[in-house]
Amino acid sequence: MKYLTAAAATAIDVQLMDPARGGFALSQLMELAGLSVAECAYKLLTGSQRQQQRQQQRQQVLVVCGPGNNGGDGLVAARHLHHFGVDVRVVLPKPAVREPFVSLVVQVAALGIPVAATLPSANEMRSHVGLVVDAVFGFSFAGNVREPYAAILSQLKVVEKEVSILSVDVPSGWHVEQGNVSGAGLEPTALISLTGPKECARFFTGRHFLGGRFVPPQIQRDFGVEIAEYVGAEQSVELFV
Amino acid sequence: MKYLTAAAATAIDVQLMDPARGGFALSQLMELAGLSVAECAYKLLTGSQRQQQRQQQRQQVLVVCGPGNNGGDGLVAARHLHHFGVDVRVVLPKPAVREPFVSLVVQVAALGIPVAATLPSANEMRSHVGLVVDAVFGFSFAGNVREPYAAILSQLKVVEKEVSILSVDVPSGWHVEQGNVSGAGLEPTALISLTGPKECARFFTGRHFLGGRFVPPQIQRDFGVEIAEYVGAEQSVELFV
């Protein structure tokens, strides 16, 4: 499998949004990326009989959204999960102050999805949360985790062996290429890579999905992104390698 | 079932894109609407064994795009159909000159989807086209059909009993509320209503789908739009009433 560096992932986004090449608006890409995250989360929630039983007790999905595009994907995913009939809540540690995030929060609020600045307690998460969607940091994350996100990741780490976590594109706190080098990053149950797996996915051993079914063949060729075998009209696919 | 007037459909779009209410960008709504059209077309193509056999001979999907948002939905649908593995072609009688249509054409071209200004001949359509997606006119159509669209509709009417047609939101040439009053409108095999059926759908007796899974409950209540029973993460659903 081909893995992308942070620079390659950035370059793909630039080409996708180049008016003469990909021609995409950010809002389109984020809509499709977020929808693929929601579909993947839905598969994890309803995928097996055992999970269906567990879901009856712990139905809530908690979407934890960071300050950048990864958080935007999370806000889109929360909206779609609501339409799928899932009891979804959003944790947004810092209020949205710019577009498209301000509008994405309006869209979430219009559905009556609760938005909080802080996580529920560890015990509340253990008893009520069936899945955490980790949309805190994506492929543009670098350096150290700052507050309020450091505290959020610490709180999630307390329950990460008891509550399923689906990380969006990159497990939050991981170095995009070198993995969980600090040890402070999340160890999620599942990962959904968007457009293509980042280098850090080499170090991930859980269930691995791909989303972002919109990359034109020329961009796939230029960056060596492999074409995944999506099924029918689905927007996410599990990778087995 | 509740049917929407043209004025109600316009008012729903206004509310969806009101920054303080729905908060949506046009590009988001068009992306989701077009995706639901693509999914519906895919279901029609692959839905039955008989259709699967027929599809082997006539696999092409021809997406015929008008000058407004209905045509934009068609351009989005064409792109997704390509990603679903369908041999799709676009007919765009008038070149796109403004956004978001210019970018939607760039996105289609980046996938290598052929774009023509005219329809294939009737015989070519009979032998190669498994489905026509009619994205010519939507709920904002009024008055008489002008050229080049009048000729396009006439050519499609020649084959409409032999080639399946899926109309987007409103069968092209129909009065949005009164149906095919001129007789010059298409008589499609299937219709996908977006957000809710328009008044003219009362006069439609073919397979009827709903797409546009994004309407917030308050807007549904205000306009009496019924909530359809979508399945799982699907973006389109067949209506049986």
Domain boundaries, chain A: 25-190
For B123-189, list the strands marked E by DSSP.
Answer: 129-135, 165-168
What is the per-residue pLDDT for A59? 80
Alpha carbon of B211: minimum distance to chain A alpha carbons (Å): 12
Higher pLDDT, B241 or B150: B150
Question: Is B57 a residue whose pLDDT tops 60?
Answer: no
| ipTM score of complex | 0.94
Judged by a CB distance cut-off of 8 A, whether residue B233 touches chain A is yes
Question: Is B18 a residue whose pLDDT tops 80?
Answer: yes
What is the per-residue pLDDT for A164? 97
Q: In degrees rounded to 5, what are phi and psi of residue B165? A: -125, 130
Judged by a CB distance cut-off of 8 A, whether residue B58 touches chain A is no
Question: Is A104 a residue whose pLDDT tops 90?
Answer: yes
Task: Please list every residue in chain B whose beta carbon sits closer than 8 Å to the beta carbon of residue A216.
Answer: 107, 110-111
Alpha helices in A110-238 (DSSP H): 122-128, 149-159, 217-223
- Distance of alpha carbon B233 from alpha carbon B48, whole angstroms: 21
Alpha carbon of A196: minimum distance to chain B alpha carbons (Å): 15
Task: Please list every residue in chain A whose beta carbon sits closer than 8 Å to the beta carbon of residue B17.
Answer: none
Task: Please list every residue in chain B whose beta carbon sits closer than 8 Å to the beta carbon of residue A104.
Answer: 23
Question: Is A205 a residue whose pLDDT tops 70?
Answer: yes
Q: Which of A23, A39, A110 sits opposite B110 (nearest CB)?
A: A23
In this prediction, what percent of chain B has a pLDDT beyond 90? 90
Q: With bands split at pLDDT 50, 70 and 90, how would you rate the model's confidence at B1?
A: confident
- Do the Cβ atoms of B103 and A20 come within 8 Å? no
Structure tokens at B117: 């200004």
Q: CA distances (Å), A18 to each of A7, A215, B30, B107, in order?
A: 16, 13, 20, 10
Backbone conformation region of residue A41, classed left if phi is above 0, alpha if psi is from -120 to 50, else beta? alpha
In this prediction, what percent of chain B has a pLDDT beyond 70? 95
3-state secondary structure of B107: helix
Judged by a CB distance cut-off of 8 A, whether residue A28 touches chain B is yes
B-chain residue closest to A16, CA distance: B107
A-chain residue closest to B15, CA distance: A110
Alpha carbon of B124: minimum distance to chain A alpha carbons (Å): 27
- Distance of alpha carbon A160 from alpha carbon A132, whole angstroms: 9
- Do the Cβ atoms of A110 and B84 come within 8 Å? no
Q: Among candidates A169, A241, A202, A212, which has minimal Cα distance to A3?
A: A202
Q: Which of A42, A111, A112 sits opposite B232 (nearest CB)?
A: A42
Structure tokens at A176: 């995009």
Judge whether B144 is annotated as a binding position: yes
The topology (CATH level 3) of B6-239 is Rossmann fold (3.40.50)
Count of other CB atoms within 10 angstroms of residue B188: 23
**Pairing outcome for strands B88-91 and A88-91:** unpaired
A-chain residue closest to B218, CA distance: A110
Q: Which of B39, B84, B103 sits opposite A23 (nearest CB)?
A: B103
Global confidence as pTM: 0.95
Judged by a CB distance cut-off of 8 A, whether residue A39 touches chain B is yes
Q: Which of B21, B31, B220 to mutate to test the interface with A (most CBs of A within 10 A)?
A: B31
Q: Which of B30, B36, B83, B192 to mutate to test the interface with A (most CBs of A within 10 A)?
A: B83
CATH number of A25-190: 3.40.50.10260
Q: Which of A29, A44, A83 to mutate to test the interface with B (most CBs of B within 10 A)?
A: A83
